[in-house]
Amino acid sequence: MSESPSLPHLSGWDADWAGLRVVVTGLGVTGFSAADTLAELGAEVIVLDGATSEKKRMDAETLKIVGVKDVRFGTEHLEQLPTFDAGPCQLVVTSPGWRPDAPLMRDAASRGVPVWSDIQLAWRLGARPGAKTPQWLVLTGTNGKTTTVTLLEAMLQADGRRAVACGNIGLPVLDAIRDPEGYDALAVELSSFQLHWTEAHGAEASGAQRSAETEQGRSLDLSPTASAVLNIAHDHVDWHGDFGGYWADKAKIFHSTRVACIYNAADPETEKMVREADVVEGCRAVSFTTDTPAVSQIGLVRSDDGDDLLVDRAFLDDRRHQALELGLRSDLGPVAPKHLVANALAAAALARAAGVEPEAIRQALRDHTPGDHRIQPVAKAADVLWINDSKATNPHAAEASLSSFSDIVWIAGGLPKGVDYDPLIQQIASRLRYVILIGTDSSQLRSSLERHAPQVPVLGGGAGEDETQAQLRSTDGAAAMRAAVSAANRSAEPGHTVLLAPAAASMDQFRSYAERGQAFIDAVAALMENQT
C-alpha cells in the first residue's frame, strides 16, 4: 500500500479526467461499465481482454459509439501495458479476478502505474452533480454476501428510500452512481478481488493524503457509512497467495468507516479485523450473534411461544436496559437455518446504522424469498429429500447446509481453490451416509474423506476407470451430474437427504455454480419423471 494516494487530483465528476490515459482490463460487465464511464469523462481508454465472444464483440462496437476506439482481444495483449499515442498509461482500472501476479499487473507495478477497482473509481467520482449523494453500506465475507446485500436492499426500500444492491452482486457500482436521479443508499457487495484493488489508507492517513482530502472535501479512499464482514474462512487462497493475503484484503473494508463496523460475534477473525481497522473518530464496533445479544449487539432472543425474536441492542439510546424488536425468525420462512438468520441480522445491523426503522426491517424479512441454488428444495419422493446448494463453492459454505440435515447422501467436488477439507469432514462426518464425487479431479476431497470418515462409502474422486467413475470426471458437466444423481438414487434410503453442496468451484465442468445447480435440478426432474 502506498503512503500517498494514487492520482490525488482525481476526485469528483469535475476533476481533470479528460485525456487521462487508462487501460481497462476485461470486457465483462464490470469492464464495460468502467470503459463506458471513463469515455463519458473524456479519458483516453484502451480495453484489453484475453478472450473474445459474440457478446464481447458487440460490447466493443457499442463502446466505439461512445468514444472507446481501441478494444484489443487476445492473450498477446496481456503481457505488458500498451503505450498510447499521447504517452504511457497513467491508470489501470481492472475487472475483479485479475490476479496481482498477472504479467500486466506486474508490469503496472514495476512502472508505478496505479491499479484501481471499479469500486475505487466509483468512490472517487461520487454522485453526479445535481443527483442525490448516497450512503454507502458495504459488506463482504466468504459466504452469505448476496443473501445479505439483497436483504439490506429490501430493508432500505421498505423504509421508503431509493436504494439498490450493486457491486459484486451483478449491477456494477459505476452504473448505480451514474443514475441521473441518484440513490439515497447503495447496498454494496464487495469481493476480496475488488477490495484488493481498492485503496485503503485508513482514517489516519499520511500528510499528503490528508492534504488532498482537505482540498477535495471528501476522502479519496472508500469511507462508507457502515461496513460489515460476515465471516472469514479459507477461500481463493490460490488468488491471494495465502490466507493472510485473503484476510488482509477482506479487512480493508473496515478502514475509514464512519458510523459502524459490523462483525460476526461467532467469528473472532472478523472482530480482530475491526480492532485493527483505522476508522473515522466516533465509529462504533457492533456485532451480530445468533445468541442472546449483549449491549452493542444485534441478536436472537428465545420467546415463550417458541418463535425467536430478532432484536437490536446497539442502535438505541437506552441499549443497556432495552432492546428493539426487529422481527421474528419465522418471518424468514417456516425453515430458517442458522446461517440465514445470521445474514438477516448482519443486514439489519447495516440498515440500523443507516437509520432504518424496525418496522421496515421486519417487512423486508417477511418479503424475503430465498435465492436459487442456496439450500433449495428440488424434490421429495419415497421419503427422500433432494436439495440443491450449488452455491456452496467452498467448505465454509457447504458446512452451513451439511449441518442443517442428517443422514446425507452428499454430492460434492470440483475445483478446490487450494482449500483444506479436513476441518469440514471432521465436523460433518457423522451426518454422511454416502458420498458421490464429481469434478475432473476431486482426489483431495476423497483423501480427506478417507482419513476422517473412513466408514462412509465414496464413489468417484479416485483413479478408477469404470464407466461411472469416468462419467463423474467428465468435462461434460450435464453428463457428470446425471451420473451423480443416478448413483445417489441407488444409494439413498427413506429418510435420507440427497444434498448437492460441492464445497468447490464449478469451472472444471460447468460455466458457473448456477449452471451446475440447474444441471442437478434437471437430472432430478428427469429421474422423478422416469419413476412415475
Going by the annotation, the residues of the binding site for ATP are 141-147
Distance of CA 213 to the CA centre of its chain: 29
Give, in order, the Cα–Cα distances in Å from 280 to each of 219, 356, 504: 11, 21, 38
Residue 290, all three cell numbers? 445468533
How many angstroms separate the CA atoms of 248 and 236, rounded? 13
The three-state secondary structure class of 4 is: coil
Q: Write out the binding residues.
A: 141-147
How many angstroms separate the CA atoms of 416 and 54, rounded? 30
The answer to whether 11 touches 220, Cβ cutoff 8 Å, is: yes
**For every residue of 120-159, which 3-state class applies, written as one string?**
HHHHHHCCCCCCCCCEEEEEECCCCHHHHHHHHHHHHHHC
Helices first, then strands: H and E counts in the chain: 19, 20
The answer to whether 524 touches 378, Cβ cutoff 8 Å, is: yes
Q: Which of 178, 159, 220, 142 is nearest to 350 (CA)?
A: 159
Q: Locate cell 446485500: which residue?
A: 149
Provide CB contacts within 8 A for 248, sequence distance 6+: none
Q: Which of 140, 143, 142, 147 is nearest to 372 (CA)?
A: 147
